[in-house]
Amino acid sequence: MRDMLKRIVLVIFVLLLLTAISGFFYMQKHPLEGNKAGNILNFSGKSAK
């Protein structure tokens, strides 16, 4: 019973890790959609043109 629980937790952890890695690489190729309007936000949140 305890081995099965460890295996389930390990599988869930590996799936979360793969999801995070694939999401990271997806965001490298496809940045957030808000930049399509041509606005670049600086760190203060104001729109720089």
| Domain chopping of the chain, boundaries | 1-33
Work out the average pLDDT over 15-24. Answer: 96
pTM of the predicted protein model: 0.55
Mean pLDDT for the stretch of residues 30-41? 62
pLDDT of residue 8: 98
β-partners of residue 48 are 40
Phi, then psi, of 40 in degrees rounded to 5 = -110, 120
High-pLDDT (> 90) share of the chain, %: 51
State how far the Cα of 39 lies from the Cα of 45, in Å rounded to an integer.
11
Mean pLDDT of 2-16: 97
Q: Is 41 helix (H, G, I), strand (E, B) or coil?
A: strand
Quick one: how far is CA 12 from the chain centroid?
17
pLDDT at 25 > cutoff 60:
yes
